[in-house]
Amino acid sequence: MSIAIVVLIAVLFTSGTYLVLQGSLTRIILGVGMLANGVNVLILGVSSRPGDAPIIGRDGEFSDPVPQALVLTAIVIGFGVVAFLLALAWRGWTIDGNDLVEADDEDRRVTAEKIDRDDAVFKGDWL
């Protein structure tokens, strides 16, 4: 497995984990997507030596088709689930106009405050 793939997996996992821990559903969905793709790249990375041909005949070295089949299935499932999550987020937004994921009232308050603060920083009016 080349070092670039390893770094890519690490980046996907760290940023995915960070995003999943946020309070806003949009970020969580992005994080879920990143984590899922991190795992997909990992399976593909560990599957066979880079540069091997796909199955083209019975002669010579070719790469193992099983992990590729696994990853294809996993990608499709991940796509469907993210689509469903986005639909949920949209529905939640039409109901109460925000996309906060809250465990309880206190959690909701803290998250809302943090997002306000982030927005303020983003707009540059925090001074």
Partner 1 sequence: MNLALALPIVAPLVGAAISMMIRHLMIQRIISFIALTISFVSSLVIISTVVADDDIVVSRLGGWPSQIAITLVADRLAAVMLLIAISVVGVVLVYSIGQQATDEHSPAYHPVYLVLAAGLAQAFLAGDLFNLFVAFELLLVSSYVLLTLEGTDKQIRSGVTYVVLNVLESTILLLGIGLVFAATGTINMAELPERLAALPDGVQMGLNMLLLVAFGIKSAVFPLYFWLPDSYPTAPSSMTAVFAGLLTKVGVYSIIRTETLLIPGGQSTLLLVVAGFTMIIGVLGAISHYNMKRILSFHTVSQIGYIILGVGIGTQLGFTATIFYLMLYIPVKTALFLIEGIIERETGSSAFDEIDGLAKRSGFLALLFLIPALSLAGLPPFSGFLAKLAVIQAGFEQGQYVIITVAIIGSFLTLVSMTKIWIGLFWGEVRPVPPDDRIGIMRHHKVMSAASIGLVAATLVLAACAGPLYDFSSDAARQLLDSSLYINAVRGS
The full length of the chain comes to 127
For residues 73 and 120, which CB has a smaller minimum distance to partner 1 in the complex? 73
The first and second tokens of residue 87, run together, are 């639909």
Taking CB under 8 A as the rule, does residue 115 contact partner 1?
no
- Burial label for 16, CB within 10 Å (0-12, 13-18, 19+), is buried
Binding residue for partner 1, selected from 85, 98, 112, 115, defined by CB under 8 A: 85
Taking CB under 8 A as the rule, does residue 39 contact partner 1?
yes
For residues 25 and 111, which CB has a smaller minimum distance to partner 1 in the complex? 25
Whose CA is closest to 87, among 75, 77, 99, 76? 99
Could you tell me if 31 and 71 are in contact, meaning their C-beta atoms sit under 8 angstroms apart?
A: no
Residues that bind partner 1 (CB under 8 A): 20, 25, 28, 32, 35-36, 39, 42-43, 46-47, 64, 66-67, 70, 73-74, 77, 80-81, 84-85, 88-89, 91-92, 95-96, 101-103
